[in-house]
Amino acid sequence: MDPLQIVWFKRDLRVVDHLPLLQASRRGPVLPLAVVEPELWQQADASGRQWAFCAESLEELRRALAELGQPLVVRVGAVEQVLERARRSFGVAGLWSHEETGNGWTYARDRRVAAWARRHGIPWVEIPQFGVIRRLASRDGWARRWEERMAEPVLPPPQALEPLPGLDPGALPTAAALGLLPDPCPDRQPGGRRAGLTLLQSFLEGRGARYHRELSSPLTAFRSCSRLSPHLAWGTLSLREVVQASRRRRSGLEGLPAAQAVAWRRALRGFEERLHWHCHFIQKLEDQPDLEFRELHPLTAGLRLSDPERLAAWAEGRTGLPFVDACMRALIASGWINFRMRAMLMSVASYHLWLPWRESGLQLARLFVDYEPGIHWSQCQMQSGTTGINTIRVYNPIKQGQDHDPDGIFLRRWLPELAAVPAVHLHEPWTMAPALQERIGCVLGVHYPLPIVDPVASAREARERIWARRRELGFAELADAIQRRHGSRRSGLKAGGGGRRRRRSQGQETDGSSLQLLLDLG
């Protein structure tokens, strides 16, 4: 057998628009390889629900590759060791993959793989998958380059792959074999490309018509958001094909009545903006990998203290703040919640509960089936006020519930213990008189928790603390440097504002309506 071209599948679980696979197939026999790394799945941001989605996607990928002639080969272990066994058994002419902007563990692993490839003189060709640019010198012109990448043709799969006789495809391990704890997620989205294509079609042909109006409320977001985020995170669909499908839909609206066409254009424009912001945030982690672990603005370090009891109450949906608890329980059950609610959950953890962003961020990472490290950690820091360049947004969880679930439909679904609470008290059940609590069978502290913090006083104290830090000597100058490195050139923000910009907002409740917050791939 000639030396093999190994195509290493990571978070790109598809055969369509897969340039590494297509190019490798033109150079010789291809070994399509997925390595399930137990150490990766033991990291603090990994979970059983994520593995379930990944495993379903790998099974479908195996079938798609088998139809081309050579099924996916799965091996369990450290990637370097798997590659070394392949080198000794068959010879490796080249290693192909997409670039990955993953967590700190995958970054270190890729460095080890690169060293292995150099040591054996094996070329490792890494090809961009998104609009993220490796070794980016400046953000200037980034949006133009993103558009150029999204305009490239969506590539077909190879016509055929040469079968590799006698090669055991290997079995996918169970979650238990990977050391993952039981992780029930009854409403989880199924993995695999077919499920992703079905979602894309239903969104562009019907569900997305009111996307721009209905993405903010959890009452409507589960249906009106695209729900494509796990498929983009695991690569069953390429970002390019989603962008192009959306734009084809936008260009074909002429036959609709005028009002419908206008609504669709606004919806699709908003959706495409969020696809752009998807890469904007991942670029931050690509440029500065340690923002997963360290505050982007160093003067925001050490602000908060660990509190295991508060963290557990927040993570389990029992803070006594109804809208917060309902959103958390919905997330636990489905592995997904819309972006505004993600922002609110992180804001409440960081401000009202004054928890360290890394600790609450890890809790959310494990719950998100669509966990994308670049987006997730950028957003955790943004919502916690540790970037130094974004407006402080202390979400009011009572107002959020009243605005986005005024009739309490979402609350009553996820908090059945509050089912009998009158609507006037539902978002603030502590305003009920004890006699009323007894009469309806919902005694606070017994059937549903009392609030673990005073939402008004805790928000006020948090603002005072965070703004005191922002007024410290040297804060604004460091923020300006961060803005030059990481800030969007489309945001309209200028240098000189890190600590001074928007100081007029101090003490005001802000609602996160800025485009920078509306990163909802849904």
User: Which CATH number is 93's domain given?
Assistant: 3.40.50.620
* CATH code: domain of residue 228: 1.25.40.80
What is residue 7's three-state secondary structure? strand
What is the strand order of the sheet 73-76 is part of? 73-76, 30-36, 4-9, 92-98, 124-127
- Calpha distance 383→262 (Å, rounded): 32
Identify any residues that bridge with 127 across adjacent strands, giving them in sequence order: 98
DSSP string, 393-452: ----HHHHHHHH-TT-HHHHHH-GGGTTS-HHHHT-GGGS-HHHHHHHT--BTTTBPPPS
Q: Residues 16, 115: one domain?
A: yes
Identify any residues that bridge with 98 across adjacent strands, giving them in sequence order: 127
pLDDT single digits (tens) 220-279 = 999 999 999 999 999 999 999 999 999 999 999 988 999 999 999 999 999 999 999 999
Cα 352 to Cα 4, 189, 346, 358: the distances in Å are 56, 31, 10, 16
Give 43's DSSP letter.
S
Give me the helix-helix angle, 142-151 and 258-287, nearest 10°. Answer: 120
Residue 11 within a domain: yes
pLDDT single digits (tens) 323-371 = 999 999 999 999 999 999 999 999 999 999 999 999 999 999 999 999 9
* Average pLDDT over the chain, rounded to an integer: 92
Give me the helix-helix angle, 339-347 and 322-334, nearest 10°. Answer: 120
Q: What pLDDT sits at residue 473?
A: 75
Beta-carbon contacts of 176 under 8 Å, excluding residues fewer than 6 positions away, are none
Question: Does an H or E element contain 57, and which?
Answer: helix 48-68
Q: Residues 199, 275: one domain?
A: yes
Residue 508 has pLDDT above 60, yes or no: no
What is the mean predicted confidence (pLDDT) over 194-199?
Answer: 98
What is residue 459's three-state secondary structure? helix
Q: What pLDDT sits at residue 478?
A: 87
Other CB atoms within 10 A of residue 508 CB: 11
Nearest to 502 by CA among 339, 391, 410: 391
Residue 33 within a domain: yes
Residue 246 within a domain: yes
Q: What pLDDT sits at residue 513?
A: 32
Tell me the pLDDT band of 474, cut-offs 50, 70 and 90.
confident
Q: Looking at the 3D structure of the chain, how many domains does it have?
A: 2
Domain boundary among 75, 101, 129: 129
Cα 108 to Cα 102, 259, 522: the distances in Å are 10, 52, 30
pLDDT single digits (tens) 251-264 = 999 889 999 999 99
pTM of the model: 0.92
DSSP string, 244-278: HHHHHHHHT-TTS-HHHHHHHHHHHHHHHHHHHHH
Tell me the pLDDT band of 507, cut-offs 50, 70 and 90.
very low
Q: Residues 123, 29: one domain?
A: yes
What is the mean predicted confidence (pLDDT) over 54-62?
Answer: 98
For tokens 């609590």, name the residue.
437
Domain boundary among 103, 129, 155: 129
Residue 92 within a domain: yes
- Calpha distance 107→285 (Å, rounded): 11
- Calpha distance 344→401 (Å, rounded): 10
Task: Write down the number of H helices and E strands in the chain.
Answer: 23, 5
Residue 200 within a domain: yes
Q: Residues 123, 226: one domain?
A: no
Domain boundary among 262, 285, 308: 285
Domain span at 237 = 193-285
Residue 336 within a domain: no
Tell me the pLDDT band of 141, cut-offs 50, 70 and 90.
very high
Q: Residues 9, 117: one domain?
A: yes
Residue 516 has pLDDT above 50, yes or no: no
Tell me the pLDDT band of 504, cut-offs 50, 70 and 90.
very low
Residue 498 within a domain: no
Residue 418 within a domain: no
Identify any residues that bridge with 122 across adjacent strands, giving them in sequence order: none
Given 3-state DSSP classes, what are the helix, strand and coil percentages for the chain, each rounded to the nearest 5? 55, 5, 40
